[in-house]
């Protein structure tokens, strides 16, 4: 019943910052879901929006009272000192042991929502997502990051002699035994010298960029991980997505995440490894949000991960 309730109201998810109300409600309904994402669905239907506060973008400070996370923008020069390109990032710092979510949060999570309110002297950046982890709480799955995350993005100034100004609205959730929705407006002015975020920013941003899955295009052969085939197996009562993949060095602890097909949820894959570990087969149960709909012909993005590395593969699902 809990899963059916979430499917029915998933499209209604919104974020509110009134933790004095949400926390006791979450604890009251804790026997239903420790993640408590479902309780937020019920709460938001009766509450008006609350103004978003301003958050400093130049430091992650001490934990303020009633705050469960910190968030900031940072930037640094990418590559050589004379390079015009910059690396930026959205850094979410959580309390120890807390988690936050990937672009597709799964059954029990709340996916972050980032909106660029303005970008001066550059094109609107594309936010990149490091490989996620899989969490299981009370039988419900969610995808995200433990102990915070840094989401990198590239910045190419229109005029490298002038500053770049960024203004971002962020809505996201952090979870331990309850889920706490957070929201903030972030601003950052990046000077041509790109030293605004301190000497450690470049190293942190480059580490985060290395954790972003590489894109697998049609004829790619040089990637350490590769998706070889994707097939949909449907019966009158169930649907399964069957994916085969290959690793150049042998799989150790592979996982597979599917998103992009908005009317469907994908369960934990059953994984079968070849004897030499070079090939893996993933069988994922498919749940439709709308009864009677088929995954066939839907666009989807598959993210294959193993030991912190990953690839992204976009495809149209077929039999």
Global confidence as pTM: 0.80
The answer to whether 158 and 80 are in contact (CB under 8 A) is: no
Q: From 1.10.3720.10, 1.20.1070.10, 2.60.40.1150, 1.10.10.10, which CATH number describes the 214-316 domain? A: 2.60.40.1150
Residue 198 pLDDT: 58
What is the mean pLDDT of the segment spanning 54-81? Answer: 61
Alpha helices in the chain (DSSP H): 2-9, 19-28, 37-44, 201-210
- Average pLDDT of the chain? 80
Pairwise CA distance, residues 104 & 108, whole Å:
11
Q: Does domain 13-210 have CATH number 2.60.40.1250?
A: yes
What is the mean pLDDT of the segment spanning 239-251? Answer: 96
Pairwise CA distance, residues 44 & 172, whole Å:
15
Residue 318 pLDDT: 87
What is the mean pLDDT of the segment spanning 83-108? Answer: 90
The answer to whether 279 and 242 are in contact (CB under 8 A) is: no
Residue 236 pLDDT: 84
- The answer on pLDDT for 29 being more than 60 is no
- The answer on pLDDT for 39 being more than 70 is no
Pairwise CA distance, residues 138 & 279, whole Å:
31
Domain boundaries, the chain: 13-210, 214-316
Q: Which one is predicted more confidently, 299 or 77?
A: 299
Residue 269 pLDDT: 96
Q: Do domains 13-210 and 214-316 have the same CATH topology?
A: yes
Structure tokens at 213: 């899955």
Predicted confidence band of residue 50 (pLDDT cuts 50, 70, 90): very low
The answer to whether 273 and 177 are in contact (CB under 8 A) is: no
Q: Which one is predicted more confidently, 238 or 129?
A: 129
- The answer on pLDDT for 64 being more than 80 is no
């Amino acid at each position: 019943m809990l899963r059916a309730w979430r499917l029915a109201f998933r499209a209604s998810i919104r974020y509110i910052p009134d933790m004095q109300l949400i926390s006791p409600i979450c604890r009251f309904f804790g026997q239903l879901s420790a993640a408590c994402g479902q309780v937020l669905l019920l709460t938001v239907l009766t509450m008006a929006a609350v103004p978003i506060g301003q958050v400093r973008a130049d430091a992650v400070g001490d934990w303020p009272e009633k705050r469960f996370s910190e968030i900031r923008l940072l930037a640094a020069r990418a590559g050589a000192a004379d390079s015009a390109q910059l690396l930026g990032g959205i850094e979410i710092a959580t309390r120890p042991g807390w988690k936050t979510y990937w672009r597709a949060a799964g059954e029990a999570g709340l996916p972050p929502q980032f909106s660029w309110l303005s970008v001066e002297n550059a094109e609107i950046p594309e936010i990149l997502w490091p490989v996620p982890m899989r969490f299981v709480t009370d039988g419900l799955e969610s995808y995200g990051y433990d102990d915070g995350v840094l989401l990198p993005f590239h910045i190419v100034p229109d005029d490298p002699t002038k500053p770049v100004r960024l203004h971002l609205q962020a809505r996201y959730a952090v979870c331990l035994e309850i889920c706490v929705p957070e929201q903030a407006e972030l601003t950052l002015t990046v000077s041509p010298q790109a030293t605004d975020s301190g000497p450690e920013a470049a190293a942190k941003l480059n580490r985060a960029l290395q954790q972003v899955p590489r894109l697998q295009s049609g004829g790619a052969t040089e990637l350490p991980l590769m998706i070889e085939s994707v097939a949909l197996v449907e019966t009158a009562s169930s649907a399964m997505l069957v994916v085969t993949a290959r690793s150049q060095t042998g799989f150790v602890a592979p996982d597979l995440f599917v998103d992009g097909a908005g009317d469907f949820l994908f369960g934990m894959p059953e994984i079968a490894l070849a004897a030499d570990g070079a090939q893996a087969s993933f069988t994922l149960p498919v749940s439709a949000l709308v009864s009677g709909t088929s995954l066939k012909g839907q666009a989807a993005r598959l993210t294959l991960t193993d030991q912190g590395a990953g690839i992204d593969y976009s495809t149209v699902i077929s039999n």
